[in-house]
């Protein structure tokens, strides 16, 4: 494991979620002496929703998740760390089906209520025998904390990433705990990112899916570390219903707004944490685009800036090189007019109406760039479309991690 990211955030005080019990064990998918198999047992009637990678070459796990999500209920989550099982053909599929069957038999549930994720190297079939022995061990293990579970789903992560929120729904207090792994191969349509949100709220599966999809658009799909999109990305939300509220089904149900806000907050926190653990990250960068012709256009412009190696290296060098921001806007392929552009760092405009501002004073901007949290603002000057995206800088650390990584 690399040194902890300088942008790390302490794991929150995450309460137990009634009806969701995490356990961990050593399946030894790699030659390491750490827990790498996570099992979260979910009580009967748990609703599930999910979003997955758009990468065409997705893993069997992702395909199965999509299929099983149609059922809307879950009894178990299994996460394998150290092997993504992606691009492993029929051998990989056999391994996942064996896991599903073994867990379903253990719980006496339908196979379609067992959700499996795997993360790690691509192209090596998940060893069935190790998974089988690991499952036997994890079934007998004592329940663990959310932080221990988070460490177990991690691979190249440098710190455990979690988020909590709560809301009052129908007079009952409901809790949400989110955990996530991922630090590289992070891009618009999700990431080498496995995220799981657990709540004791009672929520109809279809409504939970609506809420998660909406939040996903403004959180997980607005982050990028390196523009690369994983074949395994998955975020699942599980609602056990143990809080005892009347199940949420519609936006105008009592407490639906509060629950939606809490869920959104957890998604946003988790998304930011992934960027804060971006491979080699030394700076957390927020890019706010306004004045675009539409929100979608603003999003694409923001992502063009966030994915530009030249912008990201400039920030790494604490250089207010706004010319590179101009370049990135220009290559986004979206409507823009050079002579209407305005660019700021933090709240200081450096360029307006297509050229450097007359009063340009680099000192406060240089001071801002020395910090850990960098804000870039871009006004396109054409309309009212807006979007905010997040990324990190591109450093020697990214190269070191990725020119050496391999199981």
Catalytic sites, residue numbers: 192
3-class DSSP state of 359: coil
Q: Is residue 183 a contact point for a copy of itself (CB under 8 A)? A: no
Nearer to a copy of itself, 167 or 378 (CB): 378
Largest CA distance in the chain: 72
315 contact partners, CB below 8 Å, separation of at least 6: 283, 285, 369, 374, 393
Closest contact distance (angstroms) between CB of 292 and a copy of itself is 13
Q: How far is the CB of 90 from a copy of itself (least distance, A)?
A: 8
Dist CA 65 CA 212 (whole Å): 15
Distance between CA atoms of residues 41 and 21, nearest Å:
5
What are the angstrom distances between the C-alpha of 76 and each of 56, 73, 106, 153, 182? 26, 10, 10, 15, 21
Residue 130's alpha-carbon distances to 181, 205, 287, in angstroms, are: 22, 33, 44
Q: What is the DSSP string of 225-267?
A: SSS---SS-EEEEEE--TT-PPPB-STTSTTHHHHHHHHHHHH
Please identify which residue in 138, 263, 329, 369 interacts with a copy of itself, judged by CB under 8 A.
329
Judged by CB under 8 A, the chain residues 26 through 45 that form the site for a copy of itself are none
C-beta of 164 vs 394, nearer to a copy of itself: 394
Pairing of strands 223-224, 385-392: parallel
Nearest-approach distance from CB 351 to a copy of itself, in angstroms = 7
- Among residues 380, 374, 377, 288, which one has the least CA distance to residue 334? 380
CA–CA gap between residue 285 and residue 331 (Å, rounded): 20
Q: Give yes or no for residue 310 binding a copy of itself (CB under 8 A).
A: yes
- Minimum distance from residue 38 beta carbon to a copy of itself (Å): 22
CA–CA gap between residue 221 and residue 328 (Å, rounded): 19
* Cβ–Cβ < 8 Å for 107, 135: no
Q: How many whole angstroms separate alpha carbon 299 and alpha carbon 385?
A: 9
CA-based angle 23:26:27, to the nearest 5?
110
CA pseudo-torsion sign 265, 270, 274, 276: positive
Residue number, 101 or 319, with CB nearest to a copy of itself: 319
Q: How far is the CB of 378 from a copy of itself (least distance, A)?
A: 12
Q: How far is the CB of 270 from a copy of itself (least distance, A)?
A: 21
Interaction between residue 275 and a copy of itself (CB under 8 A): no
> What track of x and - describes contact with a copy of itself for positions 89 through 118 (by CB under 8 A)?
xxxx--------------------------
The residue (of 52 and 150) whose beta carbon lies closer to a copy of itself is: 52
Interface segment toward a copy of itself; rule CB under 8 A; list 69-77, 84-92, 104-112, 291-299: 84-92
Question: Binding to a copy of itself (CB under 8 A): which residues in 335-374?
Answer: 336-339, 341, 351, 353-356
Per CB under 8 A, the segment of 29-37, 85-93, 204-212, 235-243 that binds a copy of itself is 85-93
**Interface with a copy of itself, residue 156, by CB under 8 A:** no
Residue 81 interacting with a copy of itself (CB under 8 A): no
321 counts as binding a copy of itself under rule CB under 8 A: yes
- Closer to a copy of itself by Cβ: residue 171 or 371: 371
**Residues binding a copy of itself: number (CB under 8 A):** 69
What does R_g of the chain's alpha carbons equal in angstroms? 22
Tell the burial category of 90 from Cβ atoms under 10 Å away from its Cβ (0-12, 13-18, 19+). exposed
Q: Which is nearer to a copy of itself, 92 or 247 (CB)?
A: 92
The residue among 13 and 339 lying less far from a copy of itself, judged by its C-beta, is 339
Query: To the nearest whole angstrom, how small is the minimum distance from the Cβ of residue 233 to a copy of itself?
Result: 11
Interacting residues toward a copy of itself by CB under 8 A:
54-58, 84, 86-92, 121-125, 184-185, 187, 189, 226-231, 307-310, 313-314, 316-317, 319, 321-324, 326-332, 336-339, 341, 351, 353-356, 394-396, 398-400, 402-406
């Amino acid at each position: 494991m690399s040194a902890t990211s300088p942008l790390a955030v302490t794991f929150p005080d995450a309460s137990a979620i009634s009806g969701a019990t995490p356990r961990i064990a050593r399946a030894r998918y790699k030659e390491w002496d750490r827990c790498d198999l996570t099992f979260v047992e979910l009580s009967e009637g748990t609703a599930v929703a999910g979003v997955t990678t758009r990468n065409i070459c997705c893993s069997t796990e992702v395909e199965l998740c999509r299929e099983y999500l149609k059922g809307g209920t879950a009894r178990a989550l299994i996460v394998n760390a150290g092997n993504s099982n992606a691009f492993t053909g029929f051998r990989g599929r056999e391994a996942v089906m064996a896991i599903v069957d073994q867990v379903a038999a253990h719980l006496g549930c339908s196979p379609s209520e067992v959700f499996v994720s795997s993360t790690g190297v691509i192209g090596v079939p998940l060893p069935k025998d190790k998974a089988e022995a690991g499952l036997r061990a994890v079934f007998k293990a004592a329940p663990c904390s959310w932080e221990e579970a988070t460490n177990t789903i991690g691979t190249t992560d440098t710190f455990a990433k979690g988020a909590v929120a709560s809301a009052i729904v129908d007079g009952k207090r409901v809790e949400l705990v989110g955990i996530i792994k991922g630090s590289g191969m992070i891009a618009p349509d999700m990431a080498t990112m496995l995220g799981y949100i657990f709540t004791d709220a009672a929520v109809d599966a279809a409504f939970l899916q609506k809420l998660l999809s909406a939040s996903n658009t403004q959180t997980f799909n607005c982050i990028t570390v390196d523009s690369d999109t994983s074949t395994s990305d998955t975020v699942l939300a599980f609602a056990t219903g143990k809080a005892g509220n009347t199940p949420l089904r519609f936006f105008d149900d009592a407490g639906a707004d509060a629950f939606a806000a809490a869920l959104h907050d957890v998604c946003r926190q988790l998304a930011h944490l992934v960027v804060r653990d971006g491979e080699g990250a030394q700076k957390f960068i927020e890019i706010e685009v306004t004045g675009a012709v539409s929100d979608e256009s603003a999003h694409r412009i923001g992502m063009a800036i966030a994915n530009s190696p030249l912008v990201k290296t400039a920030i790494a060098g604490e250089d207010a090189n706004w010319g590179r921001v101009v370049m990135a806007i220009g290559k986004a392929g979206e409507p823009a007019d050079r002579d209407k552009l305005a660019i700021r760092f933090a709240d200081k405009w450096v360029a307006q109406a297509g050229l450097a501002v007359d009063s340009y004073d680099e000192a406060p901007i240089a001071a801002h760039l020395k910090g850990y949290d960098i804000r870039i603002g871009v006004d396109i000057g054409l309309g009212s479309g807006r979007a905010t995206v997040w990324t990190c800088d591109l450093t020697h650390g990214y190269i070191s991690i990725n020119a050496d990584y391999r199981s």
